[in-house]
Structure 1
């Protein structure tokens, strides 16, 4: 976990969502679709709080947790800067596998949009989802992010030198089997776990959730910078049409494997 904390200590996660707005905009569309009208929301593994700030603007009571203390501090500072601090019940540095500081059944909805990326042991992934289940109210809605293994295989084939050690077919084959990725270059995205898409719904359902939807947060992730620039340069009208297309195609099960991230939406059931 120390490598993960070190990575996020130096990585600009807020800036990433600003530079790559499609993921945030698609996710937010589907989050708003399923959110309750009011209540208490947990943003677990929130990073600097990009989603938390939107939840606060919508009038929810928000509790923010993240493994990295620096990001928790950044999130609280952002909330103050944006005049949203009063909407937050708490900011905590916490491991997603142990939310013992939070009481059971507290939240009307909960987000977990990062922790499962970095839990390489199955027992830890189960703990994290069970903790999410515990702190969510009965029939509460959860939003959980996953990274698809198929997309990382494609990315490794497309840019092998950017994804060492996945710069050989043997390494890619090993990754395809395990889903675990540890970057060979120090300071790069590492300690990661990628799910096979067909395993996501059974995994969540086995841990107490009813599946509502599984969507691709950015089905346009394979587009080059040049392609995106072309559409962005055609003006706001074309950008909005492109975004609407990505939102529409996000729910297409045939495109999940090319999305950089997936968003699982479920309801807590005992």
Structure 2
């Protein structure tokens, strides 16, 4: 297993010095990105109160934070990569600071909603992921929500394989969620839907639910920059209808786990 210290170093290179633009990924790189963004925002909006205080942990360049601020929420974004935080600050509608998901700079019981939409799949060890979730729960007020994203193992396998030749280490990827050491993406761990639900529950969250964000059409849309609106709406309808089913979750591009603090 690659050390967490090495993954943390690669995160800085991948998201910082390479000029990575998360907003572009979610709006223009492929039709999957826009589906992911819309469905994630929808799942959050269905559950939280208007005017919530939201911590967007691992919020990258701020596309989710900006949309939530525009909807009337008070948002503070936190990310470990200074280049990402500087891009997020350009929105001017929310605060953005440098920090780590495992040591949040917020007071206990001070936040209504914590988004953890990136950190979990960059943390290799279960105890590190639980540490991040415990931090999210610590800063939450009673009844507050955690939304935690993960990448399914099957989705990651499709990304590292050319469809014919399986990558070295694929058995560990499928069986334990351990990424192959090849590739630029600084992955730490890839989940199953059941595993993500268990981690959220073991961290202490209640009413835990996991959905496949893009649903079974997401992997197809990943290959397309543009699609007809009727196709995109069909994919969105399918994600809404079956994204929560256990068999379908792991066929999505991303998982979203949701739970509340007691």
Q: TM-score, normalised by structure 2?
A: 0.87
Residue of structure 2 equivalent to 1:174: 172
Residue of structure 1 equivalent to 2:4: none
| Alignment RMSD (CA, Å) | 2.1
The structural deviation recorded for 1:97 is 0.6
- Rounded to whole Å, the distance in 2 between the matches of 1:222 and 1:61 is 33
Q: Report Cα offsets for 1:103-157 as digits up to 9, x if no partner.
A: 1111111111000010002221111011001011111011110111233234445
Structure 2 CA distance for partners of 1:175 and 1:212, relative to 1, 3 Å = closer
Structure 2 CA distance for partners of 1:55 and 1:177, relative to 1, 3 Å = same
Residue of structure 2 equivalent to 1:31: 44
Q: Report Cα offsets for 1:38-81 as digits up to 9, x if no partner.
A: 2211101000011101110111111110011110110011x13x
- Rounded to whole Å, the distance in 2 between the matches of 1:124 and 1:138 is 23
The structural deviation recorded for 1:245 is 2.6
CA contact (8 A) 1:42 1:111 kept: yes
Stretch deviating more after TM superposition (138-147 or 174-183): 174-183
Gaps of 5+ in 1: none
Q: After the TM superposition, which parts of structure 1 deviate over 4 Å for at least 4 consecutive aligned residues?
A: 154-158, 224-229
- Rounded to whole Å, the distance in 2 between the matches of 1:228 and 1:61 is 33
Residue of structure 2 equivalent to 1:102: 106
CA contact (8 A) 1:41 1:63 kept: yes
Alignment of 1:1-270 (within 5 A): 1-9=8-16, 10=18, 11-19=20-28, 20-77=33-90, 79-80=91-92, 85=93, 88=94, 90-99=95-104, 101-159=105-163, 167-168=167-168, 171-185=169-183, 188-219=184-215, 220-223=217-220, 232-233=227-228, 236-269=229-262
The structure number with the bigger radius of gyration is 1
The structural deviation recorded for 1:206 is 1.3
CA contact (8 A) 2:35 2:236 kept: yes
Structure 2 CA distance for partners of 1:160 and 1:107, relative to 1, 3 Å = farther
Gaps of 5+ in 2: 1-7
- Rounded to whole Å, the distance in 1 between the matches of 2:49 and 2:145 is 8
Aligned length: 248
